[in-house]
């Protein structure tokens, strides 16, 4: 069984947000040819996307081809819109989450949803989180690595973690609005250099700020293999122990310990690094993630995990679905899998055959 | 033999730079008690340092204790002062480099020097680089991961690379002025999160900007195990191949290939990551570096390398000194080593014993 915890989706259409809210800065999709569209910010196209981004049927076909049983759907981080007026972001979140709910309702055994929240207004974020989980049946939420420059250890966000804990919501943390962007105009460096740093920033803030320990019931997972965090953990832990005056202001528990309480996805594009991650942190903390349908993702879901001969079948299964199920708080039985399909076919055959 | 390519030094005293240049922003040392000092920026102490930072005799004693035969000395990156007026930085560089020259002159078989340059004015940087190598006998220079926001692939810096190539200067690239600093006020995160990203930024810029190929004679080495670059190379290479429109504007050679042309130090504080680095890039590219005498460094030089049982004696020797010699362009014989000392003692004994 394969569950992909890192897959993005957008509606095919949404209202003109500049018209709706009265100011610029929002993303729109421009459908310029059949099956493809431009993601536009103002007059600037910043990404060309295909139908698999918005069409769940195309998506299911592609999942079938690469053997993905379940995709955990979240919005594209450029839609977070934390910079906008809180009520407008809240309204946009509702639009996006309602669309997510529709898709999951149509294919409840193939998709799981993570909602998006107006994090810049924690009190509204709590309201939308509760709606996502209690009313729409989502497994959790996706948030950014910081909220308009405020790090995730800011006590302003405690109510959100409290609500996540109370509702059993999984929290997927994804980089956005990357540090240093203005000085990295070339070579896609905000994606290649700053995104991994953003994720490390979020993990370090949650750990050293004491959030992981204060809210032990929140199941945090981090995109792109935890960014640069796992491979620089030696340095981070060293800093933590050598400068307690700077690093241990909120907790004395070392990052090397706290890593056992968070999850990361497997999207590292490097068998040796994935092996290192499994060796260091255990397959228990790592779940398949592909960044579907974007080009920095893993095009054949699970290919990297399956390619590593040193991994036992049990390790591979844990990486491909076991960790995801635990993180989502779901049972294997809640999804349609090849084996459950075979099982129900067999039952059906038993009933119709005399 | 152990050569530490990453060791910082300052003079014990230098002129009041604010008085000398007429404006604020420069670092000064405030010797507030015997054997220790405060590094001050204006009225703010941002680091307390010990005598081993400025006293070469104390340094030699500590090197002897941890078995370091040679330290490659460079200034502390806060001294780069690229933000200042070019002539003033040039003047400061001359002060610092003259001090470095004195130290190396006193202990020519224990220390090698890397000069500092007024990189914000490449024409002055070239003049000082030439002075460092041709007149002062330095092995190379130390520079920052960017120059006031300009990345190292900027053609403005070509003359510096040209001069480095011509003079056979090694170039040590060290993070400074870290991305995202203003949004990372807590937990030492600019050091723990942004510094590794800075180094990746420098490596990616030099690779994708075509500098590594345009100046094949420049021997670049990068601090802190190359920062986040080695462990995110999978992602970086993936981006490079998937978005040629963004990443291949200056070269089609993949980062995974170009890695074989650069050097990194061993300062990662994690045996599994160092093993990964040796496995992926080869011990040929990695040289012992400790960040002496700072607390984020390796306090017992070479301890990590020596602790890894999977490394053969030849691999360990390469990591501890072989790579450094190649990077510096020096022969083993140019330094006083325990074995050369034993050899000369034996020769001496042979001559005096009848």
Q: Which carries the bigger pLDDT value, residue A57 or residue B336?
A: A57
Confidence at A339, pLDDT banded by 50, 70, 90: low
- The predicted structure's pLDDT at residue A344: 52
Section B220-236 average pLDDT: 97
Is A232–B228 a contact, with Cβ atoms under 8 angstroms apart? yes
Average pLDDT, chain A: 94
How deeply is B133 buried, as exposed, middle or buried, from its count of CB atoms within 10 A (0-12, 13-18, 19+)? Answer: buried
pLDDT at B353 over 50: no
pLDDT recorded at residue A46: 85
Distance from CA of A183 to the nearest CA of B (A): 6
CB distance A237–B196 less than 8 Å? Answer: no
CA separation (Å) from B6 to B117, B122, B171? 17, 24, 12
Contact across the interface for B200 and A193, Cβ inside 8 Å: yes
pLDDT single digits (tens) A280-298: 999 999 999 999 999 999 9
Of A149, A196, A247, the CB nearest to B188: A247
Residue of chain A whose Cα is closest to the Cα of B154: A186
pLDDT above 80 (res A354): no
- Cα–Cα–Cα angle for B213, B260, A192, nearest 5°? 80
Name the helix (H) or strand (E) containing B7.
strand B3-8
Query: Is the pTM here over 0.90, yes or no?
Result: yes
Q: Do B228 and A295 touch (CB under 8 A)?
A: no
Which residue segments constitute the domains of chain B, with CATH numbers given? 3-9+56-350 (3.20.20.140)
Give the per-residue pLDDT at B163.
Answer: 98
pLDDT in tens, B305-351: 999 999 999 999 999 999 999 999 999 999 976 655 565 555 555 55
Tokens of B6: 């990453």
User: Does an H or E element contain A264, and which?
Assistant: strand A263-265
Q: Do B201 and A191 touch (CB under 8 A)?
A: no
pLDDT at residue number B46: 85
- Indicate the average pLDDT of chain B: 94
Q: Average the pLDDT over A89-100 and give the result.
A: 98
Selected for mutation to probe chain A from B178, B193, B242, B268 (highest A CB count within 10 Å) is: B193
Please give the pLDDT value at position B342.
Answer: 60
Question: Is residue A336's pLDDT more than 80?
Answer: no
Residue B354 confidence (pLDDT): 40
Nearest by CB: B273 against A180, A234, A295: A234
Cβ-proximal residues to A283 (8 Å cutoff; 6+ apart), any chain: A311, A315, A318, A319, A322, A323
DSSP annotation of A292: B
- Is the confidence at residue B167, as pLDDT, over 50? yes
Chain A nearest CA to B268, separation (Å): 6
Q: Check pLDDT > 60 for residue B6.
A: yes
Residue A206 has phi, psi (to 5 degrees) of -65, -35
- The alpha-carbon gap from A166 to the nearest alpha carbon of chain B, in Å, equals 28
pLDDT in tens, A248-279: 999 999 999 999 999 999 999 999 999 999 99
Measure CB to CB from residue A228 to each of B191, B204, B228 and give the nearest one: B228
Tell me which DSSP letter residue A112 carries.
Answer: E
Task: Give residue-wise pLDDT tens across range A115-142.
Answer: 999 999 999 999 999 999 999 999 999 9
């Amino acid at each position: 069984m394969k569950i992909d915890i890192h897959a993005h989706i957008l509606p095919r259409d949404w209202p003109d947000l500049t018209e709706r809210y009265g100011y610029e800065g929002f993303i729109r999709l421009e459908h310029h040819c059949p099956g493809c569209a431009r993601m536009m910010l103002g007059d600037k196209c910043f990404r060309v996307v295909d139908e698999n981004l918005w069409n769940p049927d195309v998506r299911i076909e592609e999942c079938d081809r690469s053997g993905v049983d379940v995709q955990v759907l979240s919005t594209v981080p450029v839609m977070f819109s934390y910079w906008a007026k809180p009520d407008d972001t809240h309204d946009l979140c509702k639009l996006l989450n309602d669309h997510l709910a529709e898709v999951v309702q149509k294919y409840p055994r193939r998709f799981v949803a993570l909602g998006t929240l107006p994090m810049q207004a924690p009190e509204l974020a709590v309201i939308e989180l509760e709606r996502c989980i209690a009313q729409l049946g989502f497994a959790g939420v996706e948030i950014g690595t910081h909220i308009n420059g405020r790090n995730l250890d800011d006590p302003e966000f405690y109510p959100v973690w409290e609500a996540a804990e109370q509702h059993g919501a999984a929290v997927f943390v994804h980089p956005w609005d990357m540090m240093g962007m203005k000085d990295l105009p070339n070579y896609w460096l905000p994606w290649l250099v700053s995104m991994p740093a953003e994720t490390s920033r979020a993990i370090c803030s949650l750990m050293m700020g004491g959030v992981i320990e204060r809210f032990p019931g929140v199941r945090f997972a981090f995109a792109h293999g935890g960014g640069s965090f796992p491979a620089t953990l030696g340095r981070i832990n060293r800093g933590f122990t050598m400068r307690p005056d700077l690093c241990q202001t909120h907790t004395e528990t070392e990052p090397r310990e706290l890593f056992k309480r968070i999850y990361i996805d497997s999207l590292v594009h490097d068998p040796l690094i994935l092996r290192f991650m499994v060796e260091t942190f255990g397959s228990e903390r790592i779940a398949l993630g592909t960044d579907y349908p974007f080009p920095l993702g893993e095009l054949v879901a699970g290919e990297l995990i399956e390619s590593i001969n040193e991994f036992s079948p049990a390790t591979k299964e844990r990486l491909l679905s076991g960790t995801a199920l635990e993180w989502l708080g779901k049972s294997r039985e809640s999804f349609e899998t090849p084996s459950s399909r075979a099982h129900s076919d067999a039952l059906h055959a038993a009933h119709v055959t005399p």
